[in-house]
């Protein structure tokens, strides 16, 4: 009887610990965790991952541009470090332009290395290649 009671208590305690360890975090806990990760990545950019890039893009871009960039990143297999460096140097909107202008991974690397970045050229090619992304910007309202 004593052994069964101790076994039941041990199983109950183990179940409670497992539940608490896998429970969904509250929104405030999640927010604190994301802020902590952002501060950590800003201090150690070499440890950035695609999740960090995705969160940053979600904060800085409209939804349709965000979705476009994520699709291009997946298709061209652009690494997180390159994307983070681009975002720090040129910004999220310029990343959308570069990917829409079909610069490709090599084009991003060339410009990060120091090649001239002509924003007007990127806007022109991006507008030709993907007019649906920039339709509202190009319309004149009367």
C-alpha span between 61 and 69 (Å, rounded):
10
Give mean pLDDT, residues 20-47.
Answer: 80
In tens, the pLDDT along 86-116 reads: 999 999 999 999 999 988 899 899 998 987 8
Give mean pLDDT, residues 53-60.
Answer: 92
In tens, the pLDDT along 110-139 reads: 998 987 888 888 888 888 888 888 775 544
Q: How far is CA 58 from CA 62, 67, 117, 136, in A?
A: 7, 9, 24, 20
**Is the pLDDT score of 54 beyond 70?**
yes
| pLDDT at residue number 94 | 93
- The residue extents of the domains of the chain are 44-138
């Amino acid at each position: 009887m004593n052994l069964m009671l101790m076994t039941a208590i041990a199983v109950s305690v183990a179940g409670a610990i497992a539940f608490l360890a896998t429970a969904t975090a509250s929104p405030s806990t999640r927010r604190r965790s994301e802020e902590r990760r952002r501060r950590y990545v800003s201090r150690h950019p070499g440890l950035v991952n695609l999740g960090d890039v995705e969160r940053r893009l979600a904060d800085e871009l409209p939804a349709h541009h965000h979705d476009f960039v994520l699709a291009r990143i997946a298709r061209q297999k652009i690494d997180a470090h390159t994307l983070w460096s681009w975002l720090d140097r040129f910004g999220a909107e310029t990343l959308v332009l570069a990917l829409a202008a079909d610069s490709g991974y090599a084009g991003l690397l060339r410009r990060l290395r120091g090649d001239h970045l002509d924003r007007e050229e990127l806007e022109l090619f991006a507008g030709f290649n993907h007019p649906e992304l920039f339709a509202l910007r190009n319309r004149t309202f009367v």
